[in-house]
Amino acid sequence: MNSQPIKWVDFYKICVGMMNMRPDDFWNISPREMYLALQGFNQFNGSNEKETPMDSSRLEEMMELYPDG
């Protein structure tokens, strides 16, 4: 088990500010439920550490597919 204290302020900013969790729900959620919710949020929003950054050739391809106005 991790001996580091939980950084509630940071988790509050993420859960309430980014995930739109109600403050009452945040304060009533267990740490395990919070970690699972954060994991699901990251997966849904494409935050996958295994993804590689976009390179210039992919950017050029997307610019051709989706030109600005």
- Every domain of the chain and the residues it spans: 19-45
pLDDT band at 51 (very low <50, low <70, confident <90, very high): low
pTM of the model: 0.55
The C-alpha angle 54, 59, 60, rounded to 5 degrees, equals: 150
- Kindly state the tokens that stand for 62: 């997307």
pLDDT of amino acid 48 = 55
CA distance 28 to 69: 47
CA distance 61 to 49: 23
